[in-house]
Amino acid sequence: MTWDAAAGARHDPEGAQLENAQVLGTDGTFRTGTVIMKDGVFGADDDSGAVAHRTDATGMWLTPGFIDAHTHLAWQAFDAADRERHSPEEQASDVRLNAGRTLAAGVTSIRDASGLTVTLAQEAGGLRAALSVQLLGPADARGAAHLRGRVQQLADAGASWIKVLATGGVGAGERVLDPVFDALELKAIHVAAAHANLPVMVHAWGGDALTWALESGAASIEHAVLISDEQCRLAADRGAFVVPTVWIYTDVLAMAESGALPSVLAPAARRAVEAHPLAVRRCLEAGVQLAMGTDAGLDTQHGRNLHELAALIEAGVPVDTALLAGTAGGARLLGRRDLGVIRPGAPADLVCFNADPRRPEVLRDPSRVVAVFVRGQLLHQAG
């Protein structure tokens, strides 16, 4: 399911109009224009006569609400055992805090990659949240029959995506490319998910597991740190997205080196930091569709979501392509082509910056986000 707490919110019936702003277009470039919001959707130019509140937005930069296509809103610790120590009440509080930080960063929709249940999603404020509920990982590598049952369990629990851990991560060290599931198990997951009408997102750094995931029908590959040219071509041919999560490895490396996280994580994180820019450029050259994802799972990471766009730009992604990865690209991945765009009739999810968000230093500074609207409702205002 998709939890949309803002859908039933009361909106200003008189509407609002922001004039003379720099507005992000569907091509990823900015132009001076006017944005109208009324009855929860963006209005057309001929709606201006019916709008009561007009604001001169000169010096403002307006974008659609950003979409974080890989986050963990209910997580606040790196280690699973630490997360499980939180009581249900503490988990609900974590989600409220993390959702508030995420909204304040300019993100209005998320795809949660494990941890956020239907019940916890009720604490997510105005955020739209597509849920995977739990991931399928090593404990589930018990054959096709078991995996079919697990997919059905997740569907019954309200998942709108199936999340699969197909390789290791920073904690796997030199064995990061070892497959968690064999090719037949991955295929069984995808067949069961298709039967439940659910798309599949696959954590895979590279290797055989990434190829098997694409061949099985993965809608998106998460991280793709060591993706090959051949795999990029396969992803492009299959129409699969890549959600790189470039920034998170820089953050993990810094924490591992400072002692905030175990130092054993540093070598794999360093390998990711060094390899990821090449992987992203390979995806671009092959025509792979990109979506923005942060993999945020610590209380210090939620609210820094747009660091990922800055990291993509610095990895070589053109600015317009990066901005689209964070808006319309994420919307396409989520099957919500009405989101991630500013156009008449689309839900009025809007972010207002007081500086040019094409600059990485602006994207890294949450104070530059001065207002965030979801369905025309002001859910965050700086100051």
- Blockwise average pLDDT, block size 10, the chain, 383 residues: 37 76 96 94 79 85 98 82 78 95 97 97 94 97 97 98 96 92 98 98 98 98 98 98 98 96 94 97 98 96 97 98 98 97 97 98 96 94 84
Q: What DSSP character marks residue 32?
A: E
What pLDDT score does 14 carry? Answer: 65
Domain residue extents for the chain: 2-64+338-381, 69-333
Apex 150 CA angle, 149 and 153, nearest 5: 90
Task: Collect contacts of 312-315 with beta carbons under 8 A, ≥24 apart.
Answer: 312/244, 312/246, 312/280, 313/360, 313/363, 314/277, 314/360, 315/244, 315/246, 315/276, 315/277, 315/280, 315/281
Rounded to 5 degrees, what angle do the CA atoms 367, 116, 209 make?
100
For residue 227, what are the contacts with CB-CB under 8 A and spacing of at least 6? 206, 210, 221, 235, 242, 279, 282, 283
Q: Do the beta carbons of residue 363 and residue 327 sit within 8 Å?
A: no
List % helix, strand, coil for the chain (3-state, nearest 5).
Answer: 40, 20, 40
Domain spanning 2-64+338-381: CATH superfamily: Urease, subunit C, domain 1 (2.30.40.10)
Res 9: pLDDT: 35
Counting Cβ atoms within 10 Å, is residue 314 exposed (0-12), middle (13-18) or buried (19+)?
Answer: middle
**Of 351, 357, 290, 295, the residue nearest 325 (C-alpha):** 290
Residue 62 is predicted with a pLDDT of: 98
Q: State how far the Cα of 241 lies from the Cα of 195, in Å rounded to an integer.
A: 21
Nearest to 55 by CA among 34, 82, 71: 34
Q: In whole angstroms, what is the distance from residue 187 CA to residue 181 CA? A: 10
Q: Which amino acid is at 135?
A: L
Q: Three-state DSSP class for 249?
A: helix
pTM, two decimals, is 0.94
**What would the two tokens of residue 366 be?**
């949450």
Question: Edge-to-edge strands of the sheet including 128-131?
Answer: 2-4, 128-131, 107-112, 66-71
Q: How many whole angstroms separate alpha carbon 306 and alpha carbon 68?
A: 9
pLDDT for residue 171: 87
In the prediction, which pLDDT does 328 show?
98
| Residues 103/129, Cβ–Cβ less than 8 Å | no
Q: How many CA atoms lie within 13 A of 20 on its CB side?
A: 6
Superfamily of domain 69-333: Metal-dependent hydrolases (3.20.20.140)
By the 8 A CB rule, do 75 and 102 touch? no
